Amino acid sequence: MKLSILSALNTERAARRAVIVVTDVESGVQRLVKAADVANDPLADTLKARLRSGKSGMAETGEGRVFLTVHVPPPRLVAIGAVHISQALAPMARLLGYDVTVVDPRTAFATPERFPDVPLIAEWPDVALPPLNVDHYTAFVALTHDPKIDDPALLHAFERGCFYIGALGSKKTHGRRVDRLKGQGVSDADLARIHAPIGLSIGAISPPEIAVAIMGEITATLRQEPRQSPDARR
């Protein structure tokens, strides 16, 4: 791999832009295709499919047998609510490879003592979320139980096309949430994207168990449903 390709690859990854490296494993000839340039590439169809799946692999192409290294941005987790569950969720998500950010305007909750080493923003969602550049490769969970905080955050998650959106609360609580969001003009399609009650049904009781259920559900969504590239969504 030429240093120039490696360097461009690292630049794209740092900017959270998808990129594919095409390698002829016989000759070693290699090129880097940025997501924005995929449509103009001779292998456009193959590369588009790879961006959607996020999976690297060998491919038979008009150019011969090539290896496609697919780099999609590392997943992120944005948790609304510096609550007990988030205290367990943050280190768990980091272990699973997620960049984690916790948002909670309630300064009694959002303290570095409760969240050592986790980026913590003690602001309301309308202030905290826009600079985060929440994107399709982001899992978004609303955990405060407070509609004043969770509802605007969820609106932001719909708008940004997060691959996973979950909200804490019983079926009854969620029913009320759906009514409120409908009243704000949220579409049925967007409402259907909320995982609620949040997490896999594993009988979780304690906050760490609920965190396991949530990370299990996020993992299932990431790995089992076809991923769409951001340009395919908009």
Partner 1 sequence: MDLLARDEEILKTAEGWRRDGKGVALATVVETWGSAPRPVGSNLVIDEEGNFLGSVSGGCVEGAVVAEAIDVIEDGKPKMLEFGVADDTAWKVGLSCGGTIRVYVEKVD
Point out which residues bind partner 1 (CB under 8 A).
1-3, 6-7, 9-10, 13-14, 23, 25, 28, 55-58, 67, 69-71, 74, 97
Compare residues 69 and 221 and give the one whose CB is closer to partner 1. Answer: 69
Looking at residue 179, its amino acid is D
CA distance 188 to 54: 28
- Pick the closer one to partner 1 by CB: 70 or 191: 70
Q: Which is nearer to partner 1, 173 or 219 (CB)?
A: 219
Judged by beta carbon, residue 23 or residue 111, the one nearer partner 1 is: 23
Q: Are 135 and 16 in contact (CB under 8 A)?
A: yes
Cβ partners under 8 Å of residue 137, min gap 6: 16, 72, 73, 74, 75, 76, 163
Q: Residue with structure tokens 């299990």?
A: 216
- How far apart are CB 158 and partner 1 at their closest, in Å? 28
Measure the CA–CA gap between 130 and 8, rounded to whole angstroms.
Answer: 27
The three-state secondary structure class of 49 is helix
Least CB distance from residue 76 to partner 1, whole Å?
A: 13
Minimum Å distance from CB 68 to partner 1? 9
Query: Shortest gap between Cβ of 95 and partner 1 (angstroms)?
Result: 8
Task: State phi, psi for 14 to the nearest 5 degrees.
Answer: -65, -30
Main-chain phi, psi angles of 17, to 5 degrees: -115, 135
Query: Smaller CB distance to partner 1: residue 75 or 105?
Result: 75
CA 96 distance to own-chain centroid: 12
Shortest Cβ 154–partner 1 spacing (Å): 29
